[in-house]
């Protein structure tokens, strides 16, 4: 497979397409923003043995794939490397297969830095035979390739991975806010946590690289994180599963997006959490309630009743 069509040259897509070209593939690229070496999506798809989509959501992927379909040769494979809804992916796969085109979903993890150096983690859904055919293409963009199940499984794993990342980000940022309020040195606190069981991507990378530096430039937008958590929530809902923590996580991200913007870097949710964490005024603070085991003073009415018996 020497000719690859590439649709979507955003912050992730552009370096991924560049890595394919660097590895010797003929890349025919197009983006609605005017970048790419082709003037239209149909031109990028023409004669492409593989068509890669790296777009904002599943609706955009479906539109692009169906528009490209008349230009694709029989036996071509569409690889959706976006974060899309698993159910929509399976429906699109059925539509493409009816026209002699296969589909693989292969979303990625690793953000812009790993997209640039070609070390993305890739979660693949599809048949083993289809993966074998496109593995050299994926290997040009990623270091680790995981076959996680049939078509749609890659997008399901990606959504669940980002839900865990989103929840861990909230917890890590709250821990930072509490530690700072208590007077802890954030760097010393992180050293201890990152050598312990609380370590996650927020404590290991996001806090030291984005929050403490004030950069807030991870390259992954808040709108995309919120979308992915929403996909995980919809997946659970469709399966009839009640997931209260997932619901609360999604609610938090949606509320933060309203206060900031979908275009904000996702690490900027720290600013939203910081605003929520402002201490109450001294007049509003309450003394902690006594524990259940603590003895409560007897009321005067109770003492009077006892004297009357």
What is the rounded distance in angstroms from the CA atom of residue 94 to the CA atom of residue 87? 11
Catalytic position from the list 114, 116, 158, 227 = 158
What is the rounded distance in angstroms from the CA atom of residue 8 to the CA atom of residue 41? 10
Asked whether residue 20 falls in the same domain as residue 141, the answer is yes
What is the rounded distance in angstroms from the CA atom of residue 55 to the CA atom of residue 31? 9
286 within some domain: no
Burial class (CB in 10 A: 0-12, 13-18, 19+), 190: buried
pLDDT of residue 279: 75
Asked whether residue 26 falls in the same domain as residue 133, the answer is yes
Let me know: does 225 contact 162? Beta carbons within 8 Å.
yes
Asked whether residue 120 falls in the same domain as residue 44, the answer is yes
Burial class (CB in 10 A: 0-12, 13-18, 19+), 236: middle
Residue 114 designated active-site: no
Asked whether residue 145 falls in the same domain as residue 204, the answer is no
Let me know: does 122 contact 79? Beta carbons within 8 Å.
no
Asked whether residue 145 falls in the same domain as residue 195, the answer is no
Domain around 111: 3-150
Asked whether residue 237 falls in the same domain as residue 197, the answer is yes
What Å distances lie between residue 23 and 3, 111, 123, CA to CA? 12, 20, 21
290 within some domain: no
pLDDT one-digit tens code per residue, 258-307: 999 999 999 999 999 999 998 765 444 444 444 444 444 444 444 433 33
Asked whether residue 117 falls in the same domain as residue 165, the answer is no
CATH of the domain at 61: 3.40.50.720
Let me know: does 3 contact 28? Beta carbons within 8 Å.
yes
What is the rounded distance in angstroms from the CA atom of residue 6 to the CA atom of residue 121? 19
pLDDT of residue 281: 56
Let me know: does 231 contact 159? Beta carbons within 8 Å.
yes
Give the 3-state secondary structure of the chain: CCEEEEECCCCCHHHHHHHHHHCCCEEEEECCCCCCCCCCHHHHHCCCCEEEECCCCHHHHHHHHHHHHHHCCCCCEEEECCCCCHHHHHHHHHHHHCCCCEEEECCEECHHHHHHHCCEEEEEECCHHHHHHHHHHHHCCEEEEEEEECCCHHHHHHHHHHHHHHHHHHHHHHHHHHHHHHCCCHHHHHHHHCCCCCCCHHHHHHHHHHHCCCCCCCCCEHHHHHHHHHHHHHHHHHCCCCCHHHHHHHHHHHHHHHHCCCCCEHHHHHHHHHHHCCCCCCCCCCCCCCCCCCCCCCCHHHHHHHHHC
Domain count, the chain: 2
51 within some domain: yes
301 within some domain: no
Asked whether residue 30 falls in the same domain as residue 124, the answer is yes
Asked whether residue 18 falls in the same domain as residue 137, the answer is yes
What is the rounded distance in angstroms from the CA atom of residue 118 to the CA atom of residue 139? 8
302 within some domain: no
Asked whether residue 99 falls in the same domain as residue 219, the answer is no
55 within some domain: yes
Q: Which residues of the chain have pLDDT under 50?
A: 282-309
110 within some domain: yes
Asked whether residue 136 falls in the same domain as residue 234, the answer is no
pLDDT one-digit tens code per residue, 79-102: 999 999 999 999 999 999 999 999
Asked whether residue 145 falls in the same domain as residue 166, the answer is no
27 within some domain: yes
Last residue of a domain, one of 150, 177, 204: 150
Last residue of a domain, one of 150, 176, 198: 150
Whether the pTM exceeds 0.75: the reply is yes
Let me know: does 249 contact 166? Beta carbons within 8 Å.
yes
Last residue of a domain, one of 150, 182, 217: 150
Which residues face 4 on adjacent strands? 27, 50
CATH of the domain at 207: 1.10.1040.10
pLDDT of residue 96: 97
């Amino acid at each position: 497979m020497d000719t690859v069509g590439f649709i979507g040259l955003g912050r992730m897509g552009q370096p991924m397409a560049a890595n394919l070209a660097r590895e010797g593939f003929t890349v025919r690229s197009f983006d609605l923003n005017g970048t790419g070496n082709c003037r239209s999506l149909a031109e990028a798809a023409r004669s492409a043995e593989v068509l890669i989509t790296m777009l904002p959501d599943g609706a955009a992927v479906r539109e692009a794939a169906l528009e490209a379909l008349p230009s694709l040769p029989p036996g071509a494979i569409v690889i959706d490397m976006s974060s899309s809804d698993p159910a929509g992916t399976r429906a699109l796969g059925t539509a493409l297969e009816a026209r002699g085109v296969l589909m693989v979903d292969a979303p990625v993890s690793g953000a812009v830095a790993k997209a640039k150096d070609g070390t993305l983690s890739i979660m693949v859904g599809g048949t083993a035979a289809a993966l074998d055919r496109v593995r050299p293409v994926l290997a040009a963009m990623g270091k680790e390739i995981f076959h996680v199940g049939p078509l749609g499984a890659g997008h399901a794993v990606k959504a669940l991975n980002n839900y865990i990342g989103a929840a861990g980000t909230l917890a890590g940022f709250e821990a930072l806010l509490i530690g700072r309020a208590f007077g802890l040195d954030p760097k010393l606190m992180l050293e201890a946590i990152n050598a312990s069981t609380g370590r996650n991507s927020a404590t290991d990378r996001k806090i030291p690289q984005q929050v403490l530096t004030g950069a807030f430039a991870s390259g992954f937008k808040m709108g995309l994180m919120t979308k992915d958590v929403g996909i995980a929530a919809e997946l659970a809902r469709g399966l009839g599963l009640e997931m209260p923590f997932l619901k609360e996580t999604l609610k938090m991200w949606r509320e933060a997006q309203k206060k900031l913007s979908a275009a904000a870097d996702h690490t900027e949710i720290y600013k939203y959490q910081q605003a929520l964490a402002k201490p109450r005024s001294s007049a509003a603070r309450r003394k902690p309630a006594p524990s259940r085991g603590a003895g409560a003073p007897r009321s005067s009415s109770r003492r009077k009743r006892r004297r009357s018996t």
